[in-house]
Structure 1
Amino acid sequence: MCTAEDYPVRAAARSRTLAGLDAELIRCRACPRLVEWREETARAKRPAYRDWEYWGRPVPGFGPSDASLAITGLAPAAHGGNRTGRMFTGDRAGDLLYATLYELGLASRPTVTGPGDGLELYGVRVTSPVHCPPPANRPTPGERDTCRPWLAREFELLRPTVRSVVVLGGFGWQAALAALERAGRQVPKPRPVFGHGVRTTLAPADGAGDPLTVFGCYHVSQRNVFTGRLTAAMFREVLAEAARTAGLPVAGSAPE
């Protein structure tokens, strides 16, 4: 029997499908600070959501198991994913993400609230390097590293189909590259530097299969959007290019 501390390594390794990985992940209690925060937030609630029954557990990735495009950010929001149980749902960042995916023809609806709203993603999976909401939206490096086996295994299970990854923010960039390396991708040394619109191509370390293109994008945080650091047009451009690289049809784009 594994302890809470080594649970992510053992449970991720024994997962053979994304559904199985998600089922293992939501039982994780490896990071005491994050467990305490997510559960306290779920008990206290925000007044606007006092009638909600908060999820209050680690938030799994969302999207089909044969996705060709993956999007990864930082961590769930305390009153967003921690409330709804679905990545990027219920907060301002998710509003822009899913509206843009809908505009590109990669989501079934532009606005989302939580499970039961009918949202489907087409060829896209949304995930995160840290699966519990951190206080002040700041996970520690140790928490990031403890959570890494989940993302690494998710990338391994997506390997047959995934062709591009969009990484939101500098913290997510470093976390994603480390997870991809653990998942069997060749990451250059020194590692590519994060920036909006940068891209790097990672070959499979074993030489088998297709390369993976990783795109950097400013995070869709409320602060970045309100200050104009990231505009809807800038975000759409990165997502559209990543989708085309993944071989997905993009609404409004001329066929090649």
Structure 2
Amino acid sequence: MGDPASVLRHTARCSSLDTLDRALTGCRACPRLVAWREEVASVKRAAFRDWVYWGRPVAGFGPADAAMAVVGLAPAAHGANRTGRMFTGDATGDFLFTALHTVGLASQPTSTHVGDGLELRGVRLTAPVHCAPPGNTPTASEAETCRGWLSAELRLLSPRLRVVVVLGGFGWRMLLPALDAAGWRTPRPRPVFGHGAHVVLPATADREALHLLGSYHPSRRNTFTGRLTLPMLVDVLRRAVALAEL
């Protein structure tokens, strides 16, 4: 799996999310990302020197029959790249899971490690890039290569998927072509991202209408400056829960 075409060929053979997740965690298609995630897992951060880092691609997390998805950016170097679970082990995850718990989508407001008892209800968490990128910034070619995994995940979720909440402009830009590849029809010109944005993709012969909701990303910069507050994110998630009929 060394280029977008080979990733697409591989994902096309995955008939379940379990199969897709297992295949994804073995992906080595992007040399720069492979080198970085493994270097971080070896060098570690001092606060986590006793941890055995995951150091691999991080699959989506949540039930296979989810009516709602939350799409972020990529795993954090010392967050999900350490713990092996999306949005787990860093301040961004703490903020997100507090909001998810508030609206009844998460069984607890914290997400610290695999096996901590956390369960999600009706929602799956994923990202357009599944490896931690240097500087939290994947290249355009890395994002294009990884998009095949997101398209396949959306395709497998499609029988029940009704709402996608997108965290940040990068996720929004990456999601739209992934939805096209998964069988939905997205508008031209592309809808503009913004906090509170709401776009409805029409139903097709084999898919229900899909609601896209935008939210600022719960990064430390956004939450520390107040650009995104907990009530703001909770409001978007409550709208998503209502639209998904959860």
TM-score tier, shorter chain, comes to over 0.9
Query: Do residues 97 (structure 1) and 96 (structure 2) align?
Result: yes
Q: Which residue in the other structure is 2:209 paired with?
A: 211
Distance 1:112 1:219 in 2: 17
Structure 1 consecutive aligned stretches of length 4 or more whose deviation exceeds 3 Å = none
Q: Can you list the C-alpha shifts for 1:25-60, whole angstroms capped at 9, x where unaligned?
A: 001000011000000000000000000000000000
Query: Do residues 162 (structure 1) and 150 (structure 2) align?
Result: no
Task: Report sequence identity in percent.
Answer: 58
Distance 2:56 2:36 in 1: 10
The residue matched to 1:214 in structure 2 has which SS?
A: strand
Distance 1:116 1:8 in 2: 30
TM-score (norm 1): 0.94
TM-score (norm 2): 0.98
Distance 1:241 1:93 in 2: 21
Q: Which residue in the other structure is 1:62 paired with?
A: 61
Q: How many residues align?
A: 245
Does structure 2 conserve the Cα–Cα contact (< 8 Å) formed by 1:8 and 1:25? no
Distance 1:149 1:181 in 2: 11
Distance 2:67 2:21 in 1: 18
Structure 1 residue 121: Cα displacement: 0.0
The residue matched to 1:209 in structure 2 has which SS?
A: coil
Distance 1:86 1:8 in 2: 21
Q: Which residue in the other structure is 2:223 paired with?
A: 225
Structure 2 spans left out of the alignment, 5+ residues: none
Q: Which amino acid aligns with 1:81?
A: A
Q: Which amino acid aligns with 1:218?
A: Y
Q: Which amino acid aligns with 1:231?
A: T
Q: Which residue in the other structure is 1:52 paired with?
A: 51
Does structure 2 conserve the Cα–Cα contact (< 8 Å) formed by 1:215 and 1:238? yes
Q: Which residue in the other structure is 1:191 paired with?
A: 190
Structure 1 residue 214: Cα displacement: 0.4
The residue matched to 2:214 in structure 1 has which SS?
A: strand
Q: Map 1:107-256 to 2 at 5 A.
A: 107-204=106-203, 206-248=204-246
Distance 2:167 2:7 in 1: 23
Distance 1:110 1:208 in 2: 36
